[in-house]
Amino acid sequence: MRRIYNFAAGPAVLPLPVLEKAGSELLDFQSSGMSIMEMSHRGEIFDAIIKEAEAKFRRLMGIPDDYAVLFLPGGASQQFAMVPLNLLLPGRSADYVDTGSWAWRAIEEAKIVGRTNVIWSGRDKRYMTAPKPSQLRFTPGAAYAHICSNETIAGIRFPAFPETEAPLVADMSSDIASRTFDFRRFALIYASAQKNLGPAGMTLAAIRKDLTERCPDTVNVFFRYRTHISEPSLYNTPNTWGVYLFGLVMDWLLEQGGVAAMEKLNTAKADMLYDTLDASPFWRPCADKDSRSLMNVTWRLPSEELENRFVKEAADAGLDGLKGHRSVGGIRASIYNAFPAEGVKALVGFMKEFERKNG
Ligand code: PMP
């Protein structure tokens, strides 16, 4: 068996102990004579798995009791639609911060539902910068405010989160469980699982329960948060395999020391890479220094030809997934929680050698 260093943006690397455990339990789960994928989502075994998964997530993230935790289908993309459908009240407006491609997708969905104010945009700066809280002017009386905490494509993040009068909603798909913050500042957070939480095909949402009451009855039953609260994530058949693996990832994160410990490791990993990028003009880091993501590090080389060679030779050396998103090109190293520090060290070593040969 040969495991590579996988820098892909998502689906992304999973902790090796999680894969090993899942492998060992694949054919006969807890002496049931079947795999987790083959059993009822309403049976005793899965019931315990989903309840424990939720409890561990609550512990990891410090989620208070007045918030519901949901396992939902449809990716973060479905949340772009569900948020305005549930929260954008008739006659009111919602504030959106346009930090990049993902924030923009959320804005497009909100515009279909109701009045949407884009109160800040990084588009003119090619989405390479995120706002400081002091730069944001939220609209008084807004139904809610929406941000994307980490933009996976450009590789930027909110250095600090704003305090808002309106309920604050965040797409945390690419940095959930990687940095500490005061959970109470948010009314709703959501994240696709395939970066920091588990396999693709499942989305986590944590929402303050009182907010779910305002959803109008004109919204289809399936798209109401309260539907999924009243039949806790079992209104339709959930991604049982995803929930199970998510639970194993929670075990792993808690064993590592939780989010604070991950943040320390993530900062050290990202610093190693940014220090290398800053040390020579051969490398051209994309994001503004103040907005640099700890999860997705993006940079350019002097030419596209060199970038293509870099990606290919890195893959040959066992460093895979470094090609930037197809919409922007360049190089992107995604170094989520489960990405090992040794992999970043290997990349830095490869970069020094590549620069010596091509610089
Ligand atoms: N938001 C962010 C920040 C993302 O990175 C992604 C996926 N890369 C999405 C939303 C969309 O997620 P999904 O494809 O699971 O709907």
- Pick the residue whose CA is nearest to atom 10 on ligand 1: 76
Closest-lying ligand 1 atom to the alpha carbon of residue 151: 3
What pLDDT is attached to residue 88?
Answer: 96
- Residue 69 Cβ inside 6 Å of ligand 1? The answer reads no
Q: Which residues contact 175 (CB under 8 A, 6 or more apart)?
A: 149, 150, 157, 196, 293, 294, 295
CATH of 17-256 given 1.20.1250.20, 1.10.150.530, 3.20.190.10, 3.40.640.10: 3.40.640.10
**Phi first, then psi: what are they for 263, rounded to 5°?**
-60, -40
Tell me, using a 6 A CB cutoff, whether residue 148 lines ligand 1. yes
Rounded CA separation 254/194 (Å): 18
CA 274, CA 137: separation in Å to the nearest integer?
31
Residue nearest to atom 2 of ligand 1 (CA): 173
For domain 5-9+258-358, the question of CATH label 3.90.76.10 is answered with no
Q: Which residue bears the tokens 């989620």?
A: 63
Share of the chain above pLDDT 70, in %: 100
Could you tell me which residues come within 8 angstroms of residue 12 by beta carbon, excluding any fewer than 6 positions away? 6, 194, 195, 196, 334, 336, 338, 339
**Tens-digit pLDDT profile for residues 213-265:** 999 999 999 999 999 999 999 999 999 999 999 999 999 999 999 999 999 99
Task: Give pTM, 2 decimals.
Answer: 0.98
The gap from C-alpha 192 to its chain's centroid, in whole angstroms, comes to 6
Taking only the tens place, the pLDDT of each residue in 113-163 is 999 999 999 999 999 999 999 999 999 999 999 999 999 999 999 999 999
Confidence of residue 326 (pLDDT cuts 50, 70, 90): very high
Q: Could you tell me the end-to-end alpha-carbon distance of the chain, in angstroms, rounded to an integer?
A: 35
Please work out whether the CB of residue 152 comes within 6 Å of at least one atom of ligand 1: yes
pLDDT at 1: 85
* Confidence (pLDDT) at 118: 98
Sequence spans of domains, the chain: 5-9+258-358, 17-256
Residue 45 has pLDDT above 90, yes or no: yes
Q: Is 237 exposed, middle or buried (0-12, 13-18, 19+ CB in 10 A)?
A: exposed
Distance 329 CA to ligand 1 centre (A): 18
Looking at residue 24, what is its pLDDT? 97
What confidence score (pLDDT) does residue 197 get?
Answer: 98
Question: Residue 79: CB within 6 Å of ligand 1?
Answer: no
271-309 residue pLDDT tens: 999 999 999 999 999 999 999 999 999 999 999 999 999
pLDDT at 77: 98
CB proximity list for 258: less than 8 A, separation 6 or greater: 60
The residues annotated as belonging to the active site are 102, 171, 195
pLDDT of residue 55: 98
